[in-house]
């Protein structure tokens, strides 16, 4: 399989975005990256390729996860909107702040599986762990049932995501230069910047903490952490910790800001003459149900005071975005102009989990990057993940459209 670079140029550095840039000078190949992170993987259910060791190890999670989603759909098939059980609702949020990043690895996922199975109701195990015929009426009450289904679905999604990243660990290891936690923490504690002027008088705890942040903002300039640490040690010895900060903070801010900047990807949208409405073409889905679902969710989310995005359905063409479904994948947007949205058909369109996902993915169609980071920690052999703004539609699950999104659309497309 050929491997093609799919990155923004370094002037618009952001992981998990597609563009037509050429590889870096080090010739490091990269995956076909997607706005949700990871490469565009083969469906997990695909039996045409040999299974890797990681796939074999994670197979129990994949099997249980798929059965959990299938079972939930069966339970909901005759329920009304009031009684259906959902993976999420409009009150659900799942921020992963920089202070508490999520860590992922095969070992950790298997440990979590063991923990989940220990607390799973015994009455559910024959259906999820075993191969018992799924039943429409759960063997436990609704609260216990949906709690276990959500937990297993979370593991399932994490496993799918990790399997899409393993082949590209070398690439993800390089993405730690985009780790903006040092800059982020300094902005959260502005007094720390002033305290750098008297670094030698600080407590040992503060010296350690601020040193980590300073190495981080230096690393944002693509200088190795080892070299950053050596330079910082010298600066501290010369009472120049504040100067070290001033030297690197501007580039760190650029890296941070790029998580929120739109890349102009669309040529098939039109602003109204009054500047209040933005109309985006979209290839008409085959099924009316999907057409209504797509339009309702996108137009409901992408609106604000003095702004409304509208979808105009158009016939098949080579420019406009379109929607496809593929089993066993993480929802994502791909294509040279981010025009292909891929969703998993196993997840109900009625579940807000799916509805929120299409609202988020449509942001990528418009050129918005994800404002979260995933990178590989080589020392610990773990993927690290965190979100930047917990209430931002493009950062964290459950986030909403922000005024900055409208401002960016106007800046780039008007």
Which pLDDT score, from 0 to 100, does residue 33 have? 37
- At 353-408, the pLDDT tens digits run 999 999 999 999 999 999 999 999 999 999 999 999 999 999 999 999 999 999 99
**pLDDT tops 90 at residue 48:** no
DSSP letter for each residue of 253-265: HHHHHTTSPPP--
Q: Is the dihedral of CA 231, 236, 240, 245 positive or negative?
A: positive
307/275 Cα distance (integer angstroms): 8
16/20 Cα distance (integer angstroms): 13
Residue 16 banded pLDDT, cuts 50, 70, 90: very low
**pLDDT tops 90 at residue 40:** no
Domain ranges of the chain: 53-166, 181-257, 269-371+401-413
338/365 Cα distance (integer angstroms): 5
Instruction: Name every residue whose Cβ is closer than 8 Å to that of residue 412 and which is 6 or more positions away in sequence.
Output: 262, 263, 264, 367
Identify whether the C-beta of residue 311 lies closer than 8 Å to the C-beta of residue 283: no
Domain 269-371+401-413 has CATH 3.40.390: yes
Residue with tokens 């706005």: 35
- At 190-237, the pLDDT tens digits run 999 999 999 999 999 999 999 999 999 999 999 999 999 999 999 999
**pLDDT tops 70 at residue 336:** yes
Helix (H) or strand (E) holding 186: helix 181-188
Residue with tokens 């196993």: 346
Identify whether the C-beta of residue 411 lies closer than 8 Å to the C-beta of residue 262: yes
How big is the chain by its Cα radius of gyration, in Å?
23
Which pLDDT score, from 0 to 100, does residue 91 have? 84
Tell me the C-alpha to C-alpha distance, in Å, between residue 239 and each of 133, 187, 201, 203.
70, 22, 11, 15
Residue 95 banded pLDDT, cuts 50, 70, 90: confident
- At 119-141, the pLDDT tens digits run 999 999 999 999 999 999 999 99
DSSP letter for each residue of 3-20: -------GGG--TT----
pTM for the predicted model, two decimal places: 0.83
114: alpha, beta or left? (left if phi > 0; alpha if psi -120 to 50):
alpha
DSSP letter for each residue of 186-216: HHH-HHHHHHGGGGGGS-HHHHHHHHHHHHH
């Amino acid at each position: 399989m050929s491997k093609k670079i799919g990155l923004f140029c370094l002037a618009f550095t952001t992981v998990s975005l597609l563009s037509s840039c050429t590889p870096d000078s080090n010739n490091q190949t990269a995956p076909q990256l997607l706005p949700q992170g990871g490469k565009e993987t083969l469906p997990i259910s695909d039996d045409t390729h040999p299974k890797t060791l990681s796939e074999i190890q994670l197979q129990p999670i994949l099997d249980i996860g798929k059965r959990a989603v299938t079972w939930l759909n069966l339970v909901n098939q005759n329920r009304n909107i009031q009684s259906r059980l959902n993976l999420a609702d409009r009150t659900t949020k799942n921020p992963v702040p920089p202070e508490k990043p999520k860590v992922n690895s095969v070992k950790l996922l298997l440990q979590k599986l063991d923990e989940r199975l220990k607390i799973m109701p015994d009455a559910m195990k024959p259906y999820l762990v075993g191969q018992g015929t799924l039943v429409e009426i759960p063997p436990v009450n609704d609260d216990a049932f949906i709690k276990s289904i959500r937990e297993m679905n979370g593991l399932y999604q994490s496993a799918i995501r990790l399997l899409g990243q393993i082949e590209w660990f070398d690439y993800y290891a390089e993405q730690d230069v985009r780790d903006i936690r040092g800059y982020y923490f300094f902005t959260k504690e502005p007094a720390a910047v002033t305290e750098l002027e008297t670094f030698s008088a600080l407590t040992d705890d503060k010296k350690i903490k601020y040193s980590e942040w300073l190495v981080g903002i230096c690393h944002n300039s693509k200088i190795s952490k080892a070299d950053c640490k050596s330079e910082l040690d010298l600066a501290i010895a010369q009472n120049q910790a504040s100067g070290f900060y001033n030297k690197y903070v501007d580039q760190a801010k650029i890296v941070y800001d790029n998580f929120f900047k739109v890349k102009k990807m669309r040529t098939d949208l039109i602003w109204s003459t009054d500047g209040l409405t933005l109309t985006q073409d979209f290839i008409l889905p085959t099924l009316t149900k999907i057409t209504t679902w797509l339009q309702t969710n996108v137009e409901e989310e992408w609106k604000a005071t003095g702004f409304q995005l509208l979808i105009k359905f158009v016939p098949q063409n080579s420019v406009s975005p379109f929607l496809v479904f593929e089993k066993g994948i993480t929802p994502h947007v791909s294509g040279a102009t981010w025009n292909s949205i891929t969703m998993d058909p196993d997840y109900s369109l009625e579940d807000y989990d799916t509805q929120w996902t299409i609202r988020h993915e449509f942001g990528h169609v418009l050129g918005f990057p994800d404002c979260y980071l995933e990178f590989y920690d080589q020392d610990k052999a773990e993927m690290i993940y965190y979100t930047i703004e917990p209430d931002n539609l493009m950062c964290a699950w459950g986030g909403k459209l922000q005024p900055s999104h409208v401002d960016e659309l106007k800046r780039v497309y008007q």
